[in-house]
Chain A
Amino acid sequence: MKFSDLYYGYKDLVIKVTYNILKDVYYAEDASQVAWMNIARNINKIKTDNLKMVKSFVICVAKNAAYNELKKNKKHAVLELKEYFQIEYEEDYIAKREEYILVRKAILEFPEIVRDVFCLHYINGLKVREIAEVLNRTQSSIKSILRRGRIRLEELFTKE
């Protein structure tokens, strides 16, 4: 995956993500710049040409940069619990399956950082060390996030 292809392909997407979180053009510019520098540093961690997966990687990095910018500017005390993108679900055939609905509800209740770490790990196939580097967190924090998420999901299946 070439950085220049990513940059030209998703420049607008990154701006949209950061702007939707920060609601300020200047802060969004800053966060987008940080996100792109981070993507440039971690380009080798993109292990696929699947556009959906590449997009999700870019979005995770962009969201993370925007949240950090928010924290830096102390606009909100607890940021990662907030939902910035409202995802609407149609009652399609798959959503009618009870187990699917339960898991979806549980995952949607996760803080965004937990969902992002799960996506990077289980969808993008990144290792704990790689996620820590991409999201600028410690490996122990990533391990902890993954473990907490898994425990919650295990509890969900146990309750059934």
Chain B
Amino acid sequence: MMGLKNKQFDLIVQVLRDINSREVDAIEKTESPNVAFSQNYDETIQNIFKKERVAKYNYKRIISIIAAAVLIIALTVTAFAFRKQIVDFIETLVPGGVRLEPDGGEFKPVEGYYVFSKLPEAYEVTYHTENKVQIETEWTNGENIIFLQQTVLTERYQVDIDTESEHYRKEKVGPYTVHYTYKYGTHTVVWENDRYGFVLDCFAELTWEEIKEMILTMEVLPLSEDGGVPEGN
């Protein structure tokens, strides 16, 4: 791909603005239904307004209080107290989930790329890119997308997983310990082997069993010469 020229980019932005503006007009012309929000919701909204007013007038005081609290915590608890080791990852509690980071190790460039030898029907490779650190492959069936990111484990590599989702699970799939979550129509699975971290995003109507089957069919292929879509996939 050659990339978009400035003139082409300007035209795209102009078209987007036009479409957007007409969509707003179309929505505004529609009838508004009678809705009555629950008392709980109204109270939540009022609380947000209240917080907004407090934030506006007392933010300096709030910042001072937060800074003092952080200092006290930092003095009394070491960073390691928030962490516990799992397999080769360091699992760190972060707001809304867990962050996985590899536990050190030397950097070795990508040697081969992983693909699923068995995919749901009609999926084919539509995008593939390679560099020394990361490989991304995307399969689509015209409507849905399966996206696999393979990254060399380095000290800087990290993945956040939402463990608060009711769908979150951590289980053994073949040789891998995988973390799975499903949120807003996207299945996300994260796992690693001794060389790479993998993130699989499926924007598709798939079951957990189908996703597990896919992961079990992972095989490693040699790198393509041009970094483009590999032939025969």
Name A residues whose Cβ lies closer than 8 Å to a Cβ of B. 2-4, 7, 12-13, 15-17, 19-20, 25, 28-29, 32-33, 36-37, 40, 52, 55-56, 59, 64, 67-68, 71, 77-78, 81, 85-89, 94, 99-100, 103-104, 107-108, 115, 118-119, 122-123, 135-138, 140-141, 144, 147-148, 150-151, 153-154, 157-158
Contacts and interface: CB of A to CB of B under 8 A. Distances in A.
B138 interface: yes
B4 A12 contact: no
Contacts, number: 148
B137 to A, nearest CB: 11
B1 interface: yes
B147 A141 contact: yes
Interface string B13-24: 111111111111
Interface of B: 1-5, 8, 11-24, 26-28, 30-38, 41, 44-45, 48-49, 52, 126-127, 136, 138, 143-145, 147, 149, 183-186, 188, 199, 201, 203, 205
B127 A151 contact: yes
Contacts of A16: 27-28, 30-32
Contact of A122 (B12, B38, B48, B52): B12
A71 B185 contact: yes
Contact of B16 (A33, A118, A157): A118
A138 B24 contact: no
A107 B184 contact: no
Given A87-B26, A103-B12, A138-B188, 6 more contacts: A15-B33, A19-B32, A85-B26, A88-B26, A104-B18, A157-B5
A160 B23 CA distance: 28
Interface-central residue, B11, B127, B136, B186, by most chain A CB under 10 Å: B11
A68 B184 contact: yes
Contacts of A118: 12, 16
A144 B201 contact: yes
A64 B183 CA distance: 13
Contacts of A122: 12-13, 16
A56 B17 CA distance: 9
